[in-house]
């Protein structure tokens, strides 16, 4: 078992000893893990909203420089450099999805 599955197994056993039903114990464990991962999820939503606020500006640049790809790429670079959070959008999206899928994949090991 992985180093995530062992603590999850202990936690599931502890919850089972309190509740007495594995189905309900698994639901409670899932909710607890989701609560622990919520800050990452919230950061992901916030970053996505920040990135979506740039979409109108990007569309305007694309329309303005549709025939000059080099100038369009230069202007897009300036726009994204102004927003320092945009580079972390991709990192936070990937990280939160990877961590949640990684943790929930260890559920199969504890069952």
Average pLDDT for the chain: 80
pLDDT per residue as tens digits for the range 36-46: 888 877 877 77
Give the 3-state secondary structure of residue 69: helix
9 vs 47, higher pLDDT: 9
What sign results for the dihedral spanned by CA atoms 19, 21, 24, 28?
A: positive
Contacts for 27-34: CB closer than 8 Å, 24+ residues apart: 30/104, 30/107, 33/8, 33/103, 33/104
Please state whether the predicted TM-score (pTM) of the whole model is above 0.75: no
CB 79 within 8 A of CB 51: no
Tracing tokens 């609560």 back to the chain, one arrives at 35
For 74, the token pair is 């230069």
């Amino acid at each position: 078992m992985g180093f995530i599955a062992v603590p999850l197994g202990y936690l599931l056993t502890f919850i089972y000893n309190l509740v007495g039903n594995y189905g309900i114990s698994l639901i409670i464990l899932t909710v607890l893990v989701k609560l622990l991962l919520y800050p990452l999820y919230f950061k992901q939503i916030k970053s996505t909203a920040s990135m979506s606020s740039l979409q109108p500006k990007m569309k305007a640049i694309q329309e303005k420089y549709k025939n000059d790809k080099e100038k369009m790429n230069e202007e897009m670079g300036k726009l994204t450099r102004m927003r320092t959070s945009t580079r972390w959008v991709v990192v936070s999206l990937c990280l939160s999805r990877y961590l949640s899928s990684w943790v929930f994949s260890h559920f199969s090991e504890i069952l």
